[in-house]
């Protein structure tokens, strides 16, 4: 992010807007800590700067460009062609039936809300998930970045990049769920961020839901009663694919 010192009047209104805590005011002008900056463009899109002093850099170098891809919800990740940090399939299960039968999806949303994370912390979580037998989902931005999908490792050059959030996605089955949840419980104390865990499943009615909740509780998980229910209306067999 670029801040014009010529335009800035040092009012300080932008300080509370920055989710990364990267903006401060000194000597009557604001400044941006580039190490803390997510490149999320919130300060640019915000309509409160009286002089419109913020402008995004038009071409961020690698690997800093990852900050915008994982922090700006309007950025399009080239590897998945989807804006946002997860895959559409994780959110809908409406197209490929990836989670049919006993196949479960696991999502780990790292850094949100407004805490942020660095990729070295993301890698730490991925590594314990790989050891627990999780199979990382294809087309996910984090999976696309891995240099070894079997071990869940990320390239050294990106590990210090700070992003607003990153979503890890993987596949397991009913009996693979307990070791995955146990691994997440152990790694939670070894990362300086927050994460939430989601379970994606196609369940055969109320009995199936109770079975999943029972397995999760047995692994010291804390299943919430709320959920998103999808009816498969995104499939072409239900009509035109461009229907709302």
pLDDT at 238 exceeding the cut of 50: no
Percent pLDDT > 70 in the chain is 77
Q: pLDDT-derived band of residue 244, with 50, 70 and 90 as boundaries?
A: very low
Compute CA distances 192 → 68, 117, 121, 124, 135, whole Å. 21, 8, 7, 11, 24
pLDDT at 187 exceeding the cut of 90: yes
- For the chain, domain boundaries: 84-224
pLDDT at 213 exceeding the cut of 50: yes
CA trace torsion 145, 140, 110, 199 (10° rounding):
-150
List the structure tokens of 70: 């994982």
Most confident of 38-42, 113-117, 208-212: 38-42
Q: pLDDT-derived band of residue 239, with 50, 70 and 90 as boundaries?
A: very low
Placement of tokens 């959920």 in the chain: 227
pLDDT digits (tens, 9 = 90+) for 59-98: 899 999 999 999 998 887 766 555 557 776 666 655 667 7
Under 8 Å between Cβ of 175 and 133: no
3-state secondary structure the chain: CEECCCCCCCCCCCCCCCCCCCEEEECCEEEECCCCCCCCCHHHHCCCCCCCCEECCCCCCCCCHHHHHHHCCCCEECCCCEECCCCHHHHHCCCCCCCCCCEEEEEEEECCCCCCEEHHHHHHHHHHHHHCCCEECCCCHHHHHCCECCCCECCHHHCCCEECCEEEEEEEEHHHHHHHHHHHHHHHHHCCCCEEEEEECCCCHHHHHHHHHHHHHHCCCCCCCCCCCCCCCCCHHHCCCCCC
CATH architecture assignment, domain 84-224: 2-Layer Sandwich (3.30)
pTM over 0.95: no
**CA–CA distance, 72 with 75 (Å, rounded to integer):** 5
Exposure string for 165-197, b = 16+ CB within 10 A, e = fewer: bbbbbbbbeeebbbbbbebbeebeeebebbbeb
Q: Quick one: pLDDT at residue 243?
A: 37
Q: Which has the higher per-residue pLDDT, 177 or 152? A: 152
Q: Quick one: pLDDT at residue 127?
A: 97
pLDDT digits (tens, 9 = 90+) for 4-37: 999 999 999 999 999 999 999 988 899 999 999 9
pLDDT digits (tens, 9 = 90+) for 96-108: 677 777 788 899 9
């Amino acid at each position: 992010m670029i801040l014009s010192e010529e335009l800035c009047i040092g009012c300080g209104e932008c300080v509370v807007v920055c989710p990364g805590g990267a903006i401060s005011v000194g000597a009557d002008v604001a400044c941006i800590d580039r190490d803390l900056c997510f490149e999320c463009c919130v300060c640019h899109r915000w309509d409160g700067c009286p002089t419109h002093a913020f402008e995004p850099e038009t071409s961020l170098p690698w690997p800093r460009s990852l900050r915008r891809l994982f922090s700006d919800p309007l950025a399009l990740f080239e590897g998945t062609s989807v804006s946002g940090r997860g895959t559409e399939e994780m959110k809908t299960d409406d197209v490929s039936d990836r989670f049919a039968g006993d196949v479960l999806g696991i999502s780990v949303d790292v850094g949100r809300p407004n805490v942020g994370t660095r990729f070295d912390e993301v890698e730490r979580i991925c590594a314990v998930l790989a050891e627990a037998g999780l199979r990382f989902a294809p087309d996910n931005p984090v999976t696309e970045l891995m240099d070894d999908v079997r071990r869940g490792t990320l390239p050294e050059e990106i590990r210090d990049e700070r992003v607003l959030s990153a979503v890890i996605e993987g596949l397991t089955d009913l009996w693979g769920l307990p070791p995955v949840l146990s691994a997440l419980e152990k790694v939670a104390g070894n990362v300086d961020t927050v994460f939430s865990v989601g379970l994606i499943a196609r369940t055969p009615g109320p009995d199936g839901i109770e079975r999943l909740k029972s397995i999760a509780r047995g692994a010291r998980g804390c299943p919430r009663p709320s959920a998103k229910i999808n009816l498969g209306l995104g499939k072409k067999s239900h009509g035109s694919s461009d229907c709302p």
